[in-house]
Amino acid sequence: MVKQLFSKVTTPVTAVAQVHRELRQAIVRGRIEPGTRLVETQLAQMLGVSRTPIREALSRLETEGVVLRGQGGLVVRDTGSERAVILGIRQRLEGFAARLAAERMSPSERDALEEACAAGAATIEEMSLEERRLSNSRFHLLLANGSHSRRLEKLIEEYYDYSVTAETLPFYSLELMRQHQNQHRDIVDAIRSQDGTLAERIVIQHLQNVQEAQTELVEKL
């Protein structure tokens, strides 16, 4: 007789994943302020779900260090001091992804990356800050997807979310985005040449520049 190895699944994975993403983005982008106590019943009502996916999502966020458990329950943690560490992690993850993408991307994937780069550069003048952020996100996530490593792609997506906060949104100003669009072009060229070493080096330098620009902006606030 086969032993019972698993508990029965009672919560849809998609619901937990969606709640987790909504809460994480609300926290890292400042819509829920540090120190705010998170109450399951209130969150369930706001998100239109039962308390079970809320509880599971909060457990994930606690494991990730986004929320902390205090005497009164879970509270939002201030992760602003970790901004440099998060961008440092992104350098390693996305640099490695670029190296793999140069080797593994199909011609159609390279075309999509190049089109995303060209579209961002062509319409940058008319974009709002949020639209520039989305354009930037699309480029970086297409690059991550080109690594053909789902594990790496998920990590990059997670840390990209952590690096976009209410404080760093002004980073997507027209002037800075023009500079970084040029670096995106260099990344595309390295991918086209299937030069993984060069692609990795450019991405690491690009994200180092991002870190310096964001640090300078936050210090001015």
Q: Does the pLDDT of residue 9 top 50, yes or no?
A: no
CATH code of the region 13-78: 1.10.10.10
Tell me how crowded residue 141 is: count the other CB atoms within 10 A of its CB.
Answer: 17
Q: Does the pLDDT of residue 6 top 50, yes or no?
A: no
**CATH top-level class for 81-220?**
mainly alpha
pLDDT digits (tens, 9 = 90+) for 151-191: 999 999 888 877 776 667 677 788 888 888 999 999 999 99
Q: Where are the domains of the chain?
A: 13-78, 81-220
Predicted pLDDT of residue 140: 94
pLDDT digits (tens, 9 = 90+) for 40-56: 999 999 888 899 999 99
Predicted pLDDT of residue 28: 77
Give the percent of the chain with pLDDT over 90. Answer: 43
Over the chain, what is the mean pLDDT? 86
Residue pair 120/135 in contact (Cβ under 8 Å)? The answer is yes
